[in-house]
Amino acid sequence: MSDALLTARALRKTYLSGDRRIEVLREVELVLAPGESVSIRGESGSGKSTLLNLLAGLDAPDAGEISWHGENALTAARRARFLGMVFQAFYLVPELDALGNVLLAARILGRPDAAARARAAQLLARVGLAERARHLPAQLSGGERQRVAVARALMNRPELLLADEPTGNLDEHTGDAVIELLLSLCAETKTALVLVTHNAAYAQKTGRQLFLHEGTLRDVQNSRFSVQGSP
């Protein structure tokens, strides 16, 4: 078994748009160590979310392979244990209150026991929403919803957290707070983080900054590569 948490080799992904073939990813290579935090930046439509979906096992590459802890298969049950996801649009279940949304991750894993309840409450407290545990998503602000989503992503103690532009729908101040929370929680729990963002400042807060351009992933610090918007 490999020591790497996640290894992606020669990933290719092509979409058909009418008669046109759009090669979104080509020869993407990524190795992620346990507890490491990585940011991925890139222009809109550069394939960041596509790459994240491949890394989450939600989509399959046309070529190349991904292994999670040395294994090439990520079943739904294993995904529930192995990784957590945070999205730009929060995706909270509107019928469940904040606590119910956080606990949903444990329910899907089949562990909605007292310990899970305690952890969900603890996570909500950690993201500053202890008082709002019984509030429905409609009663929460955007920042609060995203904090609930962060707590839900960490509920099952994942080894990897994938965050797809988590501040995209938030104002700057709230976005800063969410990113700080995300990074500190990942650091506390030694959870690896892949943060997809447009924001260079947020990207710099991660251990490694990558840039996706023309379907290829490059390390910003170790490359002379530079495009508009890159450092």
Are 52 and 164 a contacting pair, CB within 8 Å? yes
Which residue, chain included where needed, has tokens 């992620």?
A: 32
Which residues ranging from 150 to 169 are in contact with another protein (CB under 8 A)? 152
- Amino acid identity of residue 140, one-letter, is L
Give 123's contacts (C-beta < 8 A, 6+ positions apart): 102, 151, 154, 155
Tell which one of 85, 124, 183, 196 touches another protein (CB under 8 A).
85
Per CB under 8 A, 15 contacts another protein? no
Question: 81 vs 198, which CB is nearer to another protein?
Answer: 81
Burial call 213-224: b when 16+ CB within 10 Å, e when fewer: bebebbebeeee
Beta strands at 20-32 and 6-17: parallel, antiparallel or unpaired: antiparallel
Q: How far apart are CA 204 and CA 209, in angstroms?
A: 7
Which structure tokens are listed for 210? Answer: 């990558």
Give the CA angle between residues 116, 146, 114 to the nearest 5°: 10
The yes or no reply on residue 95 touching another protein (CB under 8 A) is: yes
Nearer to another protein, 81 or 117 (CB): 81
| Options 62-70, 95-103, 194-202, 205-213: segment touching another protein (CB under 8 A) | 95-103
53 interacts with another protein by CB under 8 A:
yes
Q: Least separation, in Å, of the C-beta of 24 and another protein?
A: 13
Verify binding: residue 87, another protein, rule CB under 8 A: yes
Binding mask 121-150 for another protein (x = CB under 8 A): -------------x-x--------------
Q: Which residues bind another protein (CB under 8 A)?
A: 49, 53, 56, 58-59, 76-81, 85, 87, 89, 91, 93-97, 100, 104-105, 107-110, 112, 134, 136, 152
